[in-house]
């Protein structure tokens, strides 16, 4: 497609997104952080968190030296917690093996934890003017539509086609790489959107690619990218234990792998799969279901605990309904394994909690709402 990059850079001067805190930044640490935070998370959510994170960890050395729990606490609520664990692991490697300097080649960055091919290329394009194309979901959609690629973008063949095209469309002048890369992201997010793309709009100028766009010409814009039918989400139920001894509660640290990995939650039973939402309230749990995590000297205290109505939390492939049982105990009445710890309520803000658990504790005013 003729003048693809030039048209995009011209467009960006007038219509690109303005005022995002990571725009125009050339510090690889900050660019890396914003790229990781923006994966699967909306811009509005990231804006505040990005700034808070940078205040706490202003550079890669500060992040590498921090305990993982502190990083997780700051990440809590952003979801996809593997990102935070990888961020921490990656910072340690950069400090230990690269003397705190980010490598300048995409291939080197791509070998570090949590840095995929497109992210590696975005960092080098933004920070070092490296002539490397990116291919996040926004860019995939734009290139697929303009070039009429109607197959599944997840297939290896179509994906390779997209990378090849992305490389061919790069601007000739390496100095333009930061602007071009930002423009690609902005255009996909604001013009060639997944729904209601602004191809031809009476209120604003038509899309700069209108004359050449194959999807528009063939009237298949909304069929690209090809939508794969989603597998219906599984429904699971569990029970969490809110054990309170005066001003302390019992929390469990999750293993690093798996859901909520590395975060602190209320002790929870295994998830039980059910067929439909009607069955949620039919599943009953016993204290034995918390073993080997927890056992009580006097199990009747568990039975006397007050049970709250189930709360719903939606994951990508599962919907969880968890009820919470409030049990007032003395610490000496509870036997728990090493992954559990009694935490003072005043210390709770220092612990990374999954969003639904945090909300529950806030609703009970055990944790101050911020």
Which residues form the catalytic set? 35
Least distance CB 198 / ligand SF4 (angstroms):
6
Q: Which is nearer to ligand SF4, 210 or 314 (CB)?
A: 210
- Specify which residues 313 forms β-bridges with: 320
Cβ atoms of 57 and 63 closer than 8 Å: yes
Q: How far is the CB of 16 from ligand SF4 (least distance, A)?
A: 15
CA 108 to the chain's CA centroid: 23
- Long-range contacts, 37-46 (Cβ 8 Å, 24+): 37/78, 37/83, 39/80, 39/83, 39/119, 40/79, 40/80, 41/78, 41/79, 41/80, 43/189, 45/78, 46/78
Calculate the alpha carbon distances from 112 to 21, 26, 69, 98, 181 in Å: 25, 19, 21, 11, 21
Return residues touching ligand SF4 (CB under 6 A). Answer: 142, 145-146, 191-192, 197-199, 207, 209-210, 213, 215-216, 221
Give 30 or 141: the residue with its C-beta nearer to ligand SF4: 141
Backbone phi and psi for residue 258, each to the nearest 5 degrees, phi listed first: 95, 180
Residue 134 · residue 161 · CB < 8 Å: no
Task: Answer yes or no: are the C-beta atoms of 126 and 181 closer than 8 Å.
Answer: yes
Whole-number CA gyration radius for the chain: 25
Closest distance of CB 8 from ligand SF4, Å: 10
Taking the least distance from each CB to ligand SF4, the nearer of 139 and 320 is 139
CB 141, min distance to ligand SF4, A: 8
Minimum CB separation of residue 171 from ligand SF4 in Å reads: 18
Nearer to ligand SF4, 184 or 192 (CB): 192
191 vs 348 by CB, closer to ligand SF4: 191
Evaluate the CA torsion angle 145, 147, 150, 155 in order and state its sign.
negative
Q: How many degrees, rounded to 5, is the angle at CA 23 between CA 17 and CA 24? A: 125
């Amino acid at each position: 497609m003729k003048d693809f990059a030039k048209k995009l850079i011209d467009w960006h001067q007038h219509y690109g997104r303005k005022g995002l805190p990571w725009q125009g930044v050339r510090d690889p640490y900050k660019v890396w952080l914003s790229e990781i935070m923006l994966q699967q998370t909306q811009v509005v959510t990231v804006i505040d968190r990005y700034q808070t994170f940078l205040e706490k960890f202003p550079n890669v050395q500060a992040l590498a030296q921090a305990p993982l729990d502190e990083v997780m606490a700051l990440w809590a609520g952003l979801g996809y917690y593997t990102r935070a664990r990888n961020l921490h692991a990656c910072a340690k490697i950069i400090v230990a093996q690269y003397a705190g300097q980010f490598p300048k080649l995409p291939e080197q960055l791509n070998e570090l934890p949590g840095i995929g091919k497109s992210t590696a290329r975005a960092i080098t394009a933004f920070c070092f003017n490296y002539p490397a194309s990116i291919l996040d979901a926004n860019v995939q959609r734009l290139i697929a539509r303009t070039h009429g690629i109607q197959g599944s973008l997840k297939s290896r063949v179509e994906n390779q086609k997209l990378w090849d095209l992305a490389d061919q469309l790069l601007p000739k002048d390496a100095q333009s790489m930061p602007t071009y890369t930002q423009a690609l992201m902005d255009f996909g997010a604001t013009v060639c959107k997944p729904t209601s793309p602004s191809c031809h709009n009476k209120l604003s100028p038509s899309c700069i690619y209108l004359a050449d766009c194959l999807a528009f010409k063939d009237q298949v814009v909304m069929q690209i990218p090809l939508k794969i039918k989603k597998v219906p989400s599984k429904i699971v139920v569990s029970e969490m234990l809110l054990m309170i001894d005066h001003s302390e509660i019992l929390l469990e640290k999750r293993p690093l792998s798996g859901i909520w990995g590395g975060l602190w939650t209320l002790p929870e039973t295994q998830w039980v799969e059910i067929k439909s939402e009607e069955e949620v309230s039919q599943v009953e749990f016993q204290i034995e279901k918390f073993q080997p995590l927890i056992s009580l000297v006097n199990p009747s205290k568990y039975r006397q605990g007050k049970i709250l109505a189930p709360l719903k939390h939606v994951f990508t492939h599962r919907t969880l309904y968890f009820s919470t049982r409030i049990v007032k105990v003395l610490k000496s009445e509870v036997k728990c394994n090493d992954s559990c710890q009694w935490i003072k309520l005043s210390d709770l803000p220092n612990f990374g909690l999954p969003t639904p658990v945090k909300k529950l504790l806030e609703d009970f005013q055990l944790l101050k709402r911020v």
